[in-house]
Every structure is written in structure tokens, then in C-alpha cells.
Amino acid sequence: MERSKMILPDHEIIEECRDVCRATVGVYVLTSCYGCQLVMATVQKIMEIANLVDFKCFYMVSSKSSMHEPVDIAFVEGSVSTEKDLEELKEVRKNAKVLVAIGACAVNGGVQSWSEGDLNYDELYASVYGDSKIKYKGLQAAPIDSYVKVDYFLPGCPPEEDEIMYFLSTFLFGSYPEEIDYPVCAECRLEGNPCILIESDAPCLGPITVAGCKARCPSFGVPCIGCRGPVPHDNSWFDSLALIFRNKGYSKDYIRERMKIFCSFDKNLEERLEKVFGRKK
């Protein structure tokens, strides 16, 4: 499914949400570490809007949750990694007016999708489970928009608290969340950090990773590993970054592996690598 077609706001849906006195919200989990919903459950500011929201499904905070009820806004965490995930995702989509993919697993497949395009999934599966009888068949981990229409994408591993509040608030105001289309480097500069890529040759993926985390890792001297996924609309500085990596002696395979940790579903990766490594120095 083509992502750019899905991030356009559906005003009719949003208007409908605004008319509801208390927006009904569901938080659903597929294959994941539960980290995104843990952040959601502990966002203190949610208390400030608690009387505007009715959580119909949020198993981490209430055992009275039901995933079978209709909701205005559904937040889905995790990648589709089993047939059960897929069944549940389809039901959530059917019941939700607005569906938000929350976190790197739901948005880009997450680290569990790392083998995509490299290794044979059935062979991997057999090497782990052998002939064991497993109730729900496993599937190669994939972002949720591989299977259903997603209205909005909230990246991060996990997303930042203020972004969660931003998403929820815009829906409650009858508006919609705007996409970030600039890289981590922009925030890194604002934080006043020295550039560890230029100054220390650290393989930082900040130039091609979508901002929003306030350059969390480079602020501690740790190179960005791309957990928030690629900057949308091909707005990234991939060529110049890959060229810097190349000039610093990193190989094509090294760059590919590093970029695939969170973004193995980035279909443009090979083409872009070829642009840099396919030409003579």
C-alpha cells in the first residue's frame, strides 16, 4: 500500500470524532515489547484530558477492556508477526474511525523484521520451532500498513510523550497531527551538540532519520541508529550521508545493515545505496 496516499487527513472522519462528547479510544497490541503502550499509560498529562476520553480498550491499564467494540481512534502497537496479529488488526481496522500506527514496530516493522529481504522466513521459522505445534502460524514481521489502511503514523521506539499528547489533542480538537518531514540533525543542531559523525567518525543516521526525539542519542554522544524511521517524502540527505560513510571507509554492506535495523521495509534503500556505491570515487 502506498503510504503517501494514506497520511492525508480525512476531514469527514475527524469531524465525526469531534462531534462525539467523549472520544472513544482503543490501544491495541500486536507483536511488540509493549514499550509504546507503557509510555502511553504513564503520560501524566493524559490526566488533563481524561474527562474527554473514554478508553474502551487498553489492557495495560484496565482488565475491563474489550477489543471488539467500535472506537473513534485506535492506536495500534506492534508488527504483524502472526496470523493472530493479522486477524486482530483487521478487526481493529473495521471497528475504528481513525487508525494510528504507534511506534517503530507498527510503523516500519521494527527490529523483528530485520531479516526481510535477506533470509528465508520459513527456514528461519523451522530452525527455531522445528515440528512443534504452534497455535497461530508465524508471519514475517511487517508494518501494519502492509495489510490495512493506516490514517496516521506516530514513529519512535517508543514515541515521545509530547508526541502522544499532540496526536490525542489534535484529534480531540477536531484537527489532525502533522507529519514531521525533517531529520534528527535539525534537532541535534538546535540542542547545540557537536556532530559526532563529522568530528568523531561515528556512524550516525541522524541525517536520514525523522526528527521528534530531540536528538536523544547524539545528545549523549551515541550515534543515531534510525529508530524513528526514514524522513518521509525522500526529503533525507541520504546521498551525502552515504558518501560521508563511504569516504570514512564504511562498506556498502555495513551501511545497509545499519539502516535495516529499523527500516528493512524501506523499498528505496537498494536503489539509493547503488547511487553512492555504484559510481566511481
Choose among 164, 169, 17: nearest CA to 97: 17
* CA 250 vs CA 169, 170, 200, 243: distances in Å: 43, 42, 14, 10
**Beta carbon nearer to ligand SF4, 26 or 110:** 110
Number of residues that bind ligand SF4 (CB under 6 A): 33
Least distance between ligand SF4 and beta carbon 257 (Å) = 15
Instruction: State the residue number with the nearest CB to ligand SF4.
Output: 206
For position 142 contacting ligand SF4 by CB under 6 A, the verdict is: no
Q: Which residues within the stretch 152-181 sit at the binding site for ligand SF4 (CB under 6 A)?
A: 157-158
35 binds ligand SF4 (CB under 6 A): yes
Distance of alpha carbon 105 from alpha carbon 142, whole angstroms: 8
What is the rounded distance in angstroms from the CA atom of residue 185 to the CA atom of residue 195? 9
Of residues 83-122, those binding ligand SF4 (CB under 6 A) = 103-105, 110
Radius of gyration of the chain (CA): 20
Q: 97 or 216, CB closer to ligand SF4?
A: 216
Binding-residue pattern over the window 181 to 220 for ligand SF4, x denoting contact by CB under 6 A: ---xx--x----x-xxx------x-xx-x---x-xxxx--
Distances (CA, A) of 206 to 194, 212, 264: 13, 11, 17
Q: How far is the CB of 46 from ligand SF4 (least distance, A)?
A: 17
- x/- mask, ligand SF4, residues 217-256, rule CB under 6 A, reads xx-----xxxxx----------------------------
- The contacts of residue 21 (CB under 8 Å, 6+ apart) are none
What letter represents residue 93's amino acid? R
- What's the rounded Cα separation, in Å, for the pair 148 and 219? 36
Q: How far apart are CA 70 and CA 68, in angstroms?
A: 7
CB of 99 or CB of 215, closer to ligand SF4: 215
User: Where do contacts with ligand SF4 occur on this chain (CB under 6 A)?
Assistant: 32-33, 35-36, 77-78, 103-105, 110, 157-158, 184-185, 188, 193, 195-197, 204, 206-207, 209, 213, 215-218, 224-228
